[in-house]
Structure 1
Amino acid sequence: MEDLLIGITKETFFIYDEMAIYLMFGFLMAGVLYILFPSGVIRKHLGTKDIKAVVKSATLGVPLPLCSCGVIPTGISLYRQGAGRGATVSFLISTPQTGVESILVTYGFLGPIFALFRPLAAFISGIVGGAFTNLLVKDSDLSSSSSPSICTTCGELQIEGEHGHRLGEKVKKMLEYALVDFPSDIVKWLVISICIAGLISYLLPENFIGVHLSSGIYAMLLMMVVGIPLYVCATGSIPIAAVLMAKGLSPGAALVFLMTGPATNSATITMLAKTLGIKTTIIYVATIASMSLVFGLGLDAVYNAWGLDTKAIATGTKMLPFWLKLGASISLGVVLAYALYRRYVLKVEPPTGEVKMVEKGLIVKIKGMTCQHCVASVQKAIGSLPGVASVRVSLQSSQATVTGSGLDTEAIRQKVTEAGYEVTEVKIQ
């Protein structure tokens, strides 16, 4: 038993150590994108119902650091505020499959060819899904809302042209998001995925999958069946895919898992069916499934034609100096440890603005929030209503504290529902 635990621990730490530097750099890039692309900027470019909006959605979605659960309220919010169904589907397909941090980790673990194929697959599949949605589903005439967006620097509601911050404030918020908020969103599944990868790496014999599982279309279909209902983030899925490849899984089958896992899960499918309709949801799932097979077969063909090693893991870090890898591992350990401590011990919520004393307050119980992007979506939805002075949303208690005058409970219910969540109870403070 002792040898078993030591072996699993060594494999787990090896995987963690190899992805640390790419993950840390990816976190910093995620912080930069968070400041550069607030929700208002996204809505501005996606608020039309043509192929240009579909392409923009895919282009914007590929690098954005939105987790699988965070992209759903963001996408639904875009749709409710005027984006077409096609642009919304394009965004929902391309965004969760990859992000700037997962591209870097993919390069470190799976090499440049895989790192190029993955965002390319996300981009093209997003365009295909959006184009078919525009072609097959009649879009409702939703007028673009003029409700303010949330400032990414201070977290307060803002109106374009009436809000600004100094460079120092933006850099501070960028670092806070990169090293605190974003890691807190993905830390649970990231840690679980690394541990699972270490477990698989130690327990499965070399070439086990290659011997017992076909490396062709059947392996891809199996990875699809596993990936579609499963919740796994774009970054956390990488070490699992890398270890499976080391045990004999083909690169194409691994890509199918990396496309279907982050882009779909049972909760996502249910929410999309409720918001965008059954027909749009079928197009969404069918696009991801079919395009993952197309790109999976294509990636296998490239590896076979070029004679590439399908079992190479973490080849990118071999050229890095020891001190740099050690520093990244220690830094990532501190970031993840604080993220776990902050989220599960201190239970600290992201700041949502100062609460002002007003004549009325409501406690709104909300079902369906899973991350800080969800918190921001609910805050913006409720905050856009007339009479609302402040909104404080708690992820841990799944509730929003709303203060203001003349608050309309039915309007609050409707706004939260439109954002993609469910109000279970409203009571006066």
Structure 2
Amino acid sequence: MESVLDRLPGVLSASWGVLLESAPFMLLGFFFAGLLKAFLPDSFITGHLGGRSIGGIVKASLLGIPLPLCSCGVLPAAAGLKKQGAGKGAVTSFLISTPETGIDSIAVTWSLLDPLMTVVRPVVSFVTAVAAGIAVSLSERDHKHELSEEDEDGQAKPSTSTCCCSSRSSQAGKSSFRDKFSGGMRFAFHDLLGDIGKWFLFGVLLSGVISVFIDAAFLERYLSNEYLSMLVMLIIAVPLYVCATASTPIAAALALKGIAPGAVLVFLLAGPATNVASFSVVASMIGRKAALIYLAVIITMSCIAGLLVNQLYVMSGMDISRWLVGQQAHEPGILSSGAAMLLLALIGASFFDRKKA
């Protein structure tokens, strides 16, 4: 019987294969994240999330989708939005849609999973965030008219606290294109990569462990039932700290072992949006009752979406136990190898810079 050390080369080989597949898309995702940071003013975000309207909730959900922040990284951003006048519903929506997906995780989903899951993931994240935001708003007894406070043009009433953001925006507008671009790229490939990089590598390594140590026959025997597999993924995902990008290689490894797309989607949605570390902060930010609604909506919507996506794959003529087989048949070339080495170098550089600081 093989020992753990005997299987270590297989784990490293499988992990390297995942890194080769995902590295070019990771770099592309971080590049666009840098562009968002450089050229999307803070005043644009805060100015559209002020007030307590359905419009603010929808905008918060939409604005959160491309932002590449994890469930802990989103907390200070959400706290800032709340302080600047965003309603509890909008803050809740932002807290869900932002960590559940991001421009970097969308790119990695395309590379490691399939086009259908790449589209479904942000769509379900948006719907979940809107549902949770509305539910939190409706639950607030002190704000009975919260969902109807909109101007005639459908925009949320601006908060008086956004003027300071306008001031910062006007000052930022004096920066040159070069300064903005370099600042955005530093944020993406140093600050953001420093936050996400180690967790992404953890996810890549864990995907290798799953590929080598978990037998497909075991999963087929015990988790072939779509309802049971979703329940197990939910139990694993809710307390686990894993960002949207890092969860993707883990999900891909499980899918290649036969886990249904619905269960994979549950893991991709519930894992990044909920974890033990951040839940207490969320509760202090939006209130205990709203936090429980936040958690309940995520769990409910994840399970409903899981069931629906299974049916969607079945209607597409696919076997949900083999839906990812054959998706990764091409051989990575020199571009993938170069991207993988560059990504590792950037993660290492950001890590050592933080150590020095």
Task: State TM-score, norm by structure 2.
Answer: 0.88
Q: Which residue of 2 aligns with 1:159?
A: 168
Equivalent residues of 1:18, 1:317 under 8 A apart: no
- Find the residue that maps to 2:161 and give its secondary structure: coil
AA matched with 1:288: I
Q: Which residue of 2 aligns with 1:110?
A: 113
Distance in 2 between residues matched to 1:322 and 1:96, nearest whole Å:
31
- Which structure has the highest strand share of the two? 1
Equivalent residues of 2:38, 2:184 under 8 A apart: yes
AA matched with 2:349: Y
Equivalent residues of 1:194, 1:239 under 8 A apart: yes
**Residues 389-424 of structure 1, C-alpha deviations (whole Å, 9 max, x = no match):** xxxxxxxxxxxxxxxxxxxxxxxxxxxxxxxxxxxx
Equivalent residues of 1:108, 1:317 under 8 A apart: no
User: Are residues 201 and 271 of structure 1, via their aligned partners in 2, closer, same or farther at CA, if it must alter by over 3 Å?
Assistant: same
User: Are residues 139 and 171 of structure 1, via their aligned partners in 2, closer, same or farther at CA, if it must alter by over 3 Å?
Assistant: farther
Distance in 1 between residues matched to 2:226 and 2:94, nearest whole Å:
30
Q: Which residue of 1 aligns with 2:226?
A: 216
- Find the residue that maps to 1:69 and give its secondary structure: coil
Are residues 1:69 and 2:59 paired?
A: no
Distance in 2 between residues matched to 1:294 and 1:108, nearest whole Å:
25
Q: Which residue of 1 aligns with 2:263?
A: 253
Equivalent residues in 2 for 1:279-428 (5 A)? 279-308=289-318, 310-312=322-324, 315=327, 318=330, 322-344=333-355, 346=356, 348=357
AA matched with 1:73: P
Residue 340 of structure 1: CA displacement? 2.4
Equivalent residues of 2:47, 2:159 under 8 A apart: no
Report the count of equivalent residues: 338
Q: Which residue of 2 aligns with 1:92?
A: 95
**Residues 226-258 of structure 1, C-alpha deviations (whole Å, 9 max, x = no match):** 111111000000111111111121110011011
User: Are residues 313 and 64 of structure 1, via their aligned partners in 2, closer, same or farther at CA, if it must alter by over 3 Å?
Assistant: farther
- Find the residue that maps to 2:28 and give its secondary structure: helix
Equivalent residues of 2:67, 2:103 under 8 A apart: yes
User: Are residues 268 and 57 of structure 1, via their aligned partners in 2, closer, same or farther at CA, if it must alter by over 3 Å?
Assistant: same
AA matched with 1:96: P
Q: Which residue of 1 aligns with 2:151?
A: none
**Residues 52-78 of structure 1, C-alpha deviations (whole Å, 9 max, x = no match):** 001101110111111211111211221
**Residues 374-395 of structure 1, C-alpha deviations (whole Å, 9 max, x = no match):** xxxxxxxxxxxxxxxxxxxxxx
User: Are residues 160 and 336 of structure 1, via their aligned partners in 2, closer, same or farther at CA, if it must alter by over 3 Å?
Assistant: closer
Residue 271 of structure 1: CA displacement? 1.2
> Any stretches of 5+ residues in structure 2 without a counterpart?
147-157
Of the three residues 50, 54, 59, the one matched with 1:56 is 59
> Highest CA radius of gyration, 1 or 2?
1
Distance in 2 between residues matched to 1:160 and 1:340, nearest whole Å:
31
User: Are residues 317 and 247 of structure 1, via their aligned partners in 2, closer, same or farther at CA, if it must alter by over 3 Å?
Assistant: closer
- Which structure has the highest helix share of the two? 2
Residue 202 of structure 1: CA displacement? 0.7
User: Are residues 20 and 160 of structure 1, via their aligned partners in 2, closer, same or farther at CA, if it must alter by over 3 Å?
Assistant: closer
Residue 317 of structure 1: CA displacement? 8.1
Equivalent residues of 1:118, 1:255 under 8 A apart: yes
Give percent identity, aligned residues only.
37
Q: Which residue of 2 aligns with 1:179?
A: 189
AA matched with 1:31: G
Residue 6 of structure 1: CA displacement? 1.1
**Residues 250-295 of structure 1, C-alpha deviations (whole Å, 9 max, x = no match):** 1100110111110011122211222211211111001100000111
Q: Which residue of 2 aligns with 1:10?
A: 13
Are residues 1:129 and 2:140 paired?
A: no
**Residues 278-325 of structure 1, C-alpha deviations (whole Å, 9 max, x = no match):** 21111100110000011111111111121236452693683x872322
Of the three residues 260, 276, 295, the one matched with 1:266 is 276
Residue 149 of structure 1: CA displacement? 4.7
Are residues 1:145 and 2:148 paired?
A: no
Residue 170 of structure 1: CA displacement? 1.1
Across the aligned residues of Structure 1 and Structure 2, the Cα RMSD in angstroms comes to 2.2
> Any stretches of 5+ residues in structure 1 without a counterpart?
151-157, 349-429
Equivalent residues of 1:109, 1:313 under 8 A apart: no
Distance in 2 between residues matched to 1:104 and 1:249, nearest whole Å:
21
Equivalent residues of 2:251, 2:267 under 8 A apart: yes
AA matched with 1:161: S
Task: State TM-score, norm by structure 1.
Answer: 0.74
- Find the residue that maps to 1:236 and give its secondary structure: helix
